[in-house]
A and B are shown apart, each in its own frame.
Chain A
């Protein structure tokens, strides 16, 4: 019994008032993940947009609804917004990167807020959320590479967005369960979905010896993101540990073959 209580208390240090996402301010507020956009001569970013609310009606509605897409730069500042009209039960694959003007910014985040929130969500005291599917074209390839969102990060009220992420009381380690191969190159994008500045430490460990190869430290603005590269000089496989006060510091991983010419993207 005492052992059980001790175990619960110990776990409580990591879970008490530290949800992945806080409750939005009102049931009418839509929620979105923060997705990564990339834009350059090598990159195009797409998003599959459809009216989630229409799935919850028995008879397809003819009412036109919309979704507001808000773009942020890597420092977390809003740089643009765009409203897209949606027909019920139809998918629109939108080239997100075409909404980013200028060549100064090459990556950042965006959020998608739906206008159609069926009353059934309010009745169940739930919040409609866009978890998304982003896809990337790299090096003018015909294929789009898909990855879904990985955080219920942000909500929207009175024409402005607000973050839902919560900071952890204790420093946490997120150990990416992926073998970093020395015949591949990687980029990791981490998003700060909290209202506090976050100090993030990336530690690369040699897979064979478990010794530290490299440590990189970053400070990320609220709503901002950071792109870090793997250590391309290391010989042998390695793994990544991310230490921060983020409840879950899951990175988006962009993976490039060196011997084999391929590109892939996934989330941690």
Chain B
């Protein structure tokens, strides 16, 4: 499967993604190639891809959102590297020859730069999520202070280009109260201001969805972006190693689905 590298967006910040045409280790990919640099986006009915250049072996390329002036406004832009030319239009998310690695994944540096000086990134990638899957995520990232502002950037990518409107629920730590319900859309980069949600400093943020999966990224800015912090949550399956960790993950989701269903409106 072809990994995609999203371009982020946040208030006062520009998305910067650096893609790399070299594998992360010396044993999973034996032969590398010069590759096409693609930008893929959905208009709600089909996927569009524009080739913006080629990248030689062992080289990196910095993509800035503002340089992609062909993109419609508020689009989720997905960069990728492919051996073959991706189709300019397609009904499903384009794919190419598998150059995936596992230890670790073939990743890009995905980040944000603020006009006030801050700069942050993480090493990441995105694959298409199955539609109608659910999400449970535990996040401790809230930071409080007069000059601090926090945002959740929720990224969803699906094979279908359709834009589905659904909801993301913010639960309290015990899972017996909905702190906020926010509208989100598939194949979008959904930005939610967290300071407006009434969490206490000792609360964990519990994110819950019924029919959409995504990558929850938490961004906190100091003085509108003089300094930036960005990190993603661990999927709850990573609370366990070895054994039937996916069975355990399923049980955890069942427990929290029950809690969610028992919340009185």
Q: A residues engaging B (CB < 8 A)?
A: 11, 14, 20-21, 23, 31, 48, 50, 52, 55-58, 60, 89-93, 120-121, 124-129, 131, 133, 135, 141-148, 152, 170, 172-179, 205, 207, 210, 237, 239, 247-248, 250, 255, 257, 260-264, 266-268
Contacts and interface: CB of A to CB of B under 8 A. Distances in A.
Nearest to B141: A146
B45 interface: no
A90 B138 CA distance: 11
B242 A127 contact: yes
B245 to A, nearest CB: 5
B25 A147 contact: no
B140 A133 contact: yes
B258 to A, nearest CB: 6
Contact of B258 (A58, A133, A143): A58
B248 A91 contact: no
Given A124-B244, A143-B220, A175-B24, A89 B123 contact: no
B242 A126 contact: yes
A177 B255 contact: no
B243 interface: yes
5 contacts: A23-B242, A124-B243, A172-B26, A210-B58, A268-B123
A262 B232 CA distance: 20
Contacts of A89: 173-175, 204
Nearest to B248: A124
B148 A142 contact: yes
B121 A264 contact: yes
A157 to B, nearest CB: 16
Contacts of A31: 241
**Nearest 8 Cβ contacts at the A-B interface:** A125-B243, A126-B243, A48-B140, A173-B26, A146-B231, A126-B240, A89-B173, A143-B222
Interface in B161-212: 173-175, 201-204
Contacts of B229: 135, 143-146, 264
Nearest to B258: A58
Given A56-B251, A175-B26, A262-B228, A142 B222 contact: yes
B247 interface: yes
Interface of B: 18, 20, 22-28, 58-60, 62, 103-104, 106-109, 117-123, 138, 140-141, 143, 145, 147-148, 173-175, 201-204, 218, 220-222, 227-232, 234, 236, 238-245, 247-248, 251-252, 255-256, 258-259
Nearest to B259: A58
Contacts of A133: 140-141, 231
Contacts of A127: 240-243
Given A91-B203, A248-B104, A264 B244 contact: no
A62 B225 CA distance: 40
Contact of B239 (A55, A142, A174): A55
Contacts of A248: 103-104
A131 B147 contact: no
Nearest to B142: A91
Contacts of B145: 142-143
Given A143-B148, A147-B231, A264-B228, A177 B251 contact: no
A178 B5 CA distance: 14
A263 B236 contact: no
Contacts of B22: 175, 177, 239
A56 B252 contact: yes
B119 A175 contact: no
Nearest to A23: B242
B248 A146 contact: no
B103 A125 contact: no
Contacts of B138: 50, 55
B187 to A, nearest CB: 25
B218 to A, nearest CB: 7
A65 B204 CA distance: 17
A159 B60 CA distance: 47
A143 B225 CA distance: 11
Nearest to A150: B104
A177 B204 CA distance: 32
Given A11-B27, A124-B244, A266-B123, 18 more contacts: A20-B103, A48-B140, A89-B174, A89-B175, A90-B173, A90-B204, A91-B203, A124-B251, A128-B240, A129-B238, A142-B145, A173-B26, A177-B20, A179-B62, A207-B58, A207-B59, A237-B60, A268-B104
Nearest to B146: A142
B77 to A, nearest CB: 19
Contact of A263 (B24, B227, B252): B227
A92 B142 CA distance: 11
